[in-house]
Every structure is written in structure tokens, then in C-alpha cells.
Structure 1
Amino acid sequence: MKKFLASALLVTLAAPLAACGGNGDDKLAEQAEDRAEAKADEVRAMGGNEATAERIEDDGERRGDAIDGSDVDADKLTEGQKNAMTAPQ
């Protein structure tokens, strides 16, 4: 019974934490990754260097992780700011 109670308490305490970070940063992070992947696909389609395409994808993933980790409130950003944050380098 103690194990069940402890598990139930843990789930109850963890549920609000799982909802944290709902500032739109997850969606913004995903956009950064998607835009980088699309740019890398363009590079490949134009016969570009595979290493360059990989670098673009890796940069997009790092960018996405940084955006997600920053917990930025994406709802308070202008479209220009969002574009600057998600644009592939």
C-alpha cells in the first residue's frame, strides 16, 4: 500500500511539472529544426556538399534544443523575432 501511495503522490506532484514550458517554445524549436532540414534538402537537391547539408541539419537541431531549453515565451515574440530564431544559418 505504501508503494502505491508513494507512486500516486509522485504522479500527482509530477503532472504540473510536465505541463510547464507551454510558452510555445516547443513549437518554435520544432520550426527551427524543420527549416534547417528543408534547407539541407535544398542543398542536396542542388548537388551541394553532403557535409554542408549535415552541418545545416546539426545546426538546426542545436538551435531547436537551445530554443526549447531557453523557455522563451514565443507568444510575446514578433514574427520577425521568430523568423530570426528559426532561420537556418
Structure 2
Amino acid sequence: MRNSLPLLAIALCGVSACSDRSDTASIGNNAEAVADALERKANDLDAMAEATANDSAASMLEGAADNLEDQADNVRDMAEDGAAAR
């Protein structure tokens, strides 16, 4: 799943580049929805990390949550860059 997230973001931006201006807002909304979903998953992982007594597992979950938050930021940045290029 980790490798598919950048591909999803690239696909969203690719569609943005190929569409007309009327689709730009829709693609931006879709990118925002993807980013929001990634952040919700990151929050779930953070909650799981706080609930576990195993320090190693907590560290791993926190790292995964950080990665998802970074991916959410990347999706938003790519969508903004695609909109700015228009």
C-alpha cells in the first residue's frame, strides 16, 4: 500500500493535466478527499500506538502514521502544483 499512494497522487495530477479547467475543482476535491482519508488512517495508527504496551510496536505504528501524514501532504502539494500550472 505504501508504494501505491504516490502512484495515486501522480494519477490524480495526470488527470488534472489532461482535463479542461472545469474539472480542476473536482480533481482538487478528490485529492483533498484522498489526503483526508490518509490523515484519518494516520490518526487511527497513532491511537493504536498509544493503546499498545509494546514499545517496539508503538514505534512502528507511529512511523507508519508519520509516513501516511507525509503522503497526505504530498497529495495536497501535487494537487496544488497541478492547479497552479493551469
Which structure has the highest helix share of the two?
2
Taking structure 2 as the reference length, the TM-score comes to 0.48
**Bigger radius of gyration:** 1
Taking structure 1 as the reference length, the TM-score comes to 0.46
